[in-house]
Amino acid sequence: MPTISRDQVVRALAQSLRAAFVDGHSADVPGLGQFRIEHEKSRLLEDESGNMVLTPPRDTIVFEFEAEK
């Protein structure tokens, strides 16, 4: 059985997460929790100088920890 280092696992997990997010998918990490993408609409806000600006929409990562078993 080949040995796998912790760094290899972390790197593989990071790559898999990024691949899932690029496709807009959520990702369940066993024992840790669920990463999912939430969409934020563009909004009309007042900036520091008092001007109204239209913020761009964006997709953000939300993480929910899995209850420890």
Partner 1 sequence: MSDLVKDVAQRLKIPDEEAKLVLNALSKLIRRQAMRDGVVRVPEIGVFRYEDKKLTFTPDEQLKTAANHRYGGMKPLPALAALEGGYDMAALDMPEDFVLSLDRLPESVDSEEVSTQQEEKDASVAARAETAEGQDELAEPVSEVLESDTADSAGASSAPSQPVEKDRAAAPPPREKTSRPTQSSWFIIALLVVGLVIGGGVWLLTGDGTGNNAAVSNGAPITEQPAPADVEDPPPAPAEEDEDAPSDEPVEEDAPLEEPQVEIDVAAGGYTLVVTSRSTRAAIENVVGAYREVLVPQGYPVSVLAPREGETRYRLGVGQFDDVDAAVGALEELSGQIPSGSWVLRLRPEMDPDS
**What residues line the site for partner 1 (CB under 8 A)?**
2, 4, 6-23, 25, 27-32, 37, 41-45, 47, 51-61, 63, 65, 68
Q: How far is the CB of 61 from partner 1 (least distance, A)?
A: 5
Q: How far is the CB of 43 from partner 1 (least distance, A)?
A: 6
**Separation CA 52–CA 46 (nearest Å):** 4
Q: How far is the CB of 33 from partner 1 (least distance, A)?
A: 8
CA angle 18, 19, 23 (to 5 degrees): 110
